[in-house]
Amino acid sequence: MRKLFSSFIIMLFLVFSFWGCAGFLKGNGAINPDRSVTRAFETFQINPNYNYYYSGSDVYPNALIGLDKKYKIEPDLWKKMEPAPKDFKDMISQMQSRALSLGQSQYGFAILDDKGRQIGVWYSILNAATTVKMKDDQTVLIYQPPFNTYEKYEEGRGGLR
């Protein structure tokens, strides 16, 4: 069973990697699965060179991102945060608890520009997909995941919270 689960996770990472690489063919950026990003979020590491933003609930966001301070993010619907270590840890822990209650896990992704350079990090459950587009050399358009990212799983459980 464990081997089957590991194979499933590897397959998902391959699909997301291909999906991310396909974005470069169109001149877009991408998000690619990255274990070191997952580890950084799970150990509550704050990169001082990043501005942090989240989307969705203030308690358990749909996604949490860090973007290199050289870049401006659009749309401005993302909520900027000044992460103090305790607040950062609490937010990530809440996201993990929420995902776990729905049988899901959080994953880390590298945010890449249209030339394949890492410009940030993304943390969410797998189905909180996004699109990354470079508007110019300093501005990146990162679409938010759907607001019902977690609720999709609740509906399958009879709407229980």
pLDDT at 91 over 80: yes
Q: What is the pLDDT of residues 36-74, one digit of tens each?
A: 999 999 999 999 999 999 999 998 899 999 999 999 998
Find, among 111, 103, 95, 101, the residue nearest to 44 by Cα: 95
Strand arrangement, sheet containing 132-134: 72-74, 139-142, 132-134
pLDDT computed for residue 32 by the predictor: 94
pTM for this structure? 0.79
Q: What is the pLDDT of residues 123-136, one digit of tens each?
A: 999 888 789 999 98
Place of tokens 């070191």: 36
Strands 72-74 and 139-142: parallel
Taking the C-alpha atoms of residue 149 and residue 161, their distance in angstroms, rounded to an integer, is 14
